[in-house]
Chain A
Amino acid sequence: MAQFLQQMVNGLALGSIYALIALGYTMVYGIIALINFAYGEIYMFGAFTGLFLVLTWKANLYLAIFGAMAFTTVLGLVVERVAYRPLRRSRNAGRLSALISAIGASIFLSTLMVLLHGPATTGFPTLFQNRNFVLGGASISLYQILIIGVSALLMVGLDLFVRYTKTGRAMRALSQDADAAALMGVNTDLMIAITFAIGSALAGAAGVLAGIYFNAVQPYMGLMAGLKAFAAAVLGGIGSIPGAVVGGLLIGLAEIMGVAAKLSDWKDAFAFAILILVLLVKPSGLLGRSIIKKV
């Protein structure tokens, strides 16, 4: 029982990281329906920025997180400006061209980091003393509490932002009908840029937190994390903020429960098997709106 509880805690912490990355993913997708493949690399750059700040300027936890968020915001905007916006403007560009451009950006960014840093995995220096709390036989660490707490906070904040601010309303309008929103006076380019900025900032925060939690930062860390986050976003219903969190938590829990059930050989298949099963039953994801296509 204690072991089961412990695995639940492990699963929740891992799921929170997936959820954190999935939040940014789902936002960008919700607005412009673009699978932003470079998102995982922005997350990776966030982790490296945090690492850099801690190593060279002896930054504390908050400085590292905010510094990384600031840097990835700029990076996200640059990627949007260079790799995506020209395609959005072009009459002939289909969504697949944008996808390939995103893949190009992803290859570019991860190779750039290999050149800057080398391919080795680097550990994160200890920023604060870790402590274990024992709850009903399962021990939960300060790191895990931090991860779960930050994810919850960001999810609520983001949901409130999208629901109640003017910018948030404009974003939602844009996601429903870009042309109509533009006609109503929504500056679509600005809104998309803001979406990218917020999404990238979230990825930056996620990168630093994941770096601290896993104690490992590596140039190719974005790929698998990005894929899992994508799966989480789709599982929860892409475009839905609570959905991303639910999807992330479910995938994290499923992986850890798979390990607990002595099926760790098949761990990487779980996330996707669950995803496919859910999609077959409810193609729009758990919390997604289903869109009926009309003639």
Chain B
Amino acid sequence: MSTVDNSVSGAVPGAPAPRRQPAWLKLWPVQALLFLALLVAVWAVTEALNLVIPAYQGQILLFTGINVIITLGLNLITGVTGQLSLGHAAFMAIGAYAAAICTVSLHLPFALALLLGGLVAALFGVVLGFPTLRLSGDYLAIATLGFAEIVRVVNTNLKITNGAIGYYGIQKRVDLPLVAMLAVAAVAAMAWLENSRNGRAMRSVREDEIAATASGVNTTFYKIQAFAVGAFFAGVGGGLYAHTTTFIQPTDFGFLKSVEQLSMVVLGGMGSIAGTVLGTIVLTAAPELLRFMSNYRMLVYGATLIVLMIFRPGGLLGGVDLRDAVRRALMLGRSRTVRTSVGGDGQ
């Protein structure tokens, strides 16, 4: 794997240039401490926020945070690695059921249940990752869609999930500070992953699979890795969802849920963490914000998707390099090369 680093950084036009940072910032204990400090700060802020903001807005924020964790996973699969998935809700379902079964039937601690939910989903991510070896583009999309439908039907028929009646009796264990911390941790983990050697390799799979293979990137390995990690995030998000609503049914994780998650990623800007977060915020809040339109709400929602795609086809933040923009605004450095390619043309 040692060849990957050199080959990939050459092959990818969008790979970030090395940053000029003080040497002490690069030490991992320093970074870990900074990260911990960030989490504590997030916790403190949201605890305070929790006291101030009304419960309704807090509830929307909470679902936004859960969705961010889930869509970041999808962004890794579809946005970064270029593998179009129409079945992300299946991983969420697997994580939700696994975590719920862990806390309700097995009486495991909540944190462990969340982790296990994520891991079980990741396992299925690996299983689903294998077809990607042979499929690409829309064929892969329909295979993932089929996988999600199969998961839904299985959940409807299994005893352990209580079938269509749904799984109830789950304790409410989720609050805003917890979700906020996990969401921030998810963003940090994704940023770290995308800027690592693995992330660059994944990007190279999206940009040009053949070129990536020729440069020595084990594309199979990175595709499966993307599915596993993406599914893990969805699984954790699913566990959070189950312990928020306290009741889950197979129909909660249907095709429309997958479509909604994909819309969030594409709307914000494929392959961009900031874009995914923004898209998720917008689309989680949109149904609530559009409430005043009453019956016309979903009509406007559909039309908004079309209009936004026409005017910002690369997504809200597509083609905008946030870090670059911030740096330029602060005059901290010269503008880097323009990234012209926008995610989504992969394969």
Q: Name the interface residues of B139-180: CB closer than 8 Å to any CB of A.
A: 139, 141-143, 145-147, 149-150, 152-154, 156-157
Chain B interface residue number, banded: 35 or more
B270 within 8 A of A: yes
Whether A273 lies near B157 (C-beta < 8 A) is: no
Q: Name the interface residues of A78-113: CB closer than 8 Å to any CB of B.
A: 82-83, 86-87, 90, 92-101, 103-109, 111-112
- What are the residues of chain A within 8 A of B145 when measuring CB–CB? 227, 230-231, 272
Whether B146 lies near A92 (C-beta < 8 A) is: no
Whether A83 lies near B345 (C-beta < 8 A) is: no
Give the distance in Å from the alpha carbon of A285 to the alpha carbon of B14 in the complex: 34
**23 A-B residue pairings within 8 Å (CB atoms):** A83-B310, A86-B310, A90-B313, A94-B270, A96-B270, A100-B266, A103-B305, A104-B306, A106-B302, A107-B301, A115-B295, A115-B296, A231-B142, A269-B149, A269-B150, A275-B146, A276-B146, A279-B134, A280-B131, A280-B134, A293-B210, A295-B210, A295-B214
Tell whether A234 pairs with B139 under 8 Å between CB atoms, given A94-B313, A97-B314: yes
A245 within 8 A of B: no
B111 within 8 A of A: no
A223 within 8 A of B: yes
Whether A230 lies near B343 (C-beta < 8 A) is: no
A238 within 8 A of B: yes
- Over the window 131-144 of chain A, the binary record of Cβ atoms lying under 8 Å from chain B Cβ atoms (1 yes, 0 no) is 00000000000000
| Shortest CB distance A103–B (Å) | 6
A268 within 8 A of B: yes
Give the distance in Å from the alpha carbon of A272 to the alpha carbon of B128 in the complex: 14
Tell whether A94 pairs with B131 under 8 Å between CB atoms, given A99-B266, A107-B298, A268-B149: no
A33 within 8 A of B: yes
B252 within 8 A of A: no
- What are the residues of chain B within 8 A of A33 when measuring CB–CB? 138
- What are the residues of chain A within 8 A of B313 when measuring CB–CB? 87, 90, 92-94, 97
- Over the window 296-328 of chain B, the binary record of Cβ atoms lying under 8 Å from chain A Cβ atoms (1 yes, 0 no) is 101101111110011001110011000000000
Q: Name the interface residues of B10-66: CB closer than 8 Å to any CB of A.
A: none
Whether B139 lies near A100 (C-beta < 8 A) is: no
| Interchain CB contact (< 8 A) of B342 among A94, A100, A234, A293 | A94
Taking chain A's interface residues, is the majority helix, strand, or loop, or is none over half, making it mixed?
helix
If A94-B342, A104-B309, A266-B157 are given as contacts, then 9 extra A-B residue pairs at C-beta distance below 8 Å, sorted by A number, are A82-B306, A90-B313, A92-B318, A100-B267, A100-B309, A106-B302, A227-B149, A280-B131, A295-B210
Give the distance in Å from the alpha carbon of A102 to the alpha carbon of B306 in the complex: 7
- What are the residues of chain B within 8 A of A285 when measuring CB–CB? 139
B262 within 8 A of A: yes
- What are the residues of chain B within 8 A of A279 when measuring CB–CB? 131, 134-135, 139, 142-143
Whether A104 lies near B305 (C-beta < 8 A) is: yes
A168 within 8 A of B: no
Q: Which residues of A contact B (CB under 8 A)?
A: 29, 33, 35, 82-83, 86-87, 90, 92-101, 103-109, 111-112, 115, 223, 227, 230-231, 234, 238, 265-269, 271-273, 275-276, 279-280, 283-285, 293, 295
- What are the residues of chain B within 8 A of A35 when measuring CB–CB? 138, 141
| Shortest CB distance A77–B (Å) | 16
- What are the residues of chain B within 8 A of A104 when measuring CB–CB? 301-306, 309
- What are the residues of chain B within 8 A of A280 when measuring CB–CB? 131, 134-135
Whether A90 lies near B263 (C-beta < 8 A) is: no
Nearest chain B residue, comparing its CB with the CB of A35: B138
| Shortest CB distance B335–A (Å) | 19
Nearest chain A residue, comparing its CB with the CB of B128: A276
Give the distance in Å from the alpha carbon of A266 to the alpha carbon of B155 in the complex: 11
| Interchain CB contact (< 8 A) of A273 among B135, B150, B262 | B150
Give the distance in Å from the alpha carbon of A272 to the alpha carbon of B134 in the complex: 17
Whether B141 lies near A111 (C-beta < 8 A) is: no
Tell whether A97 pairs with B305 under 8 Å between CB atoms, given A103-B263, A230-B142, A272-B146: no
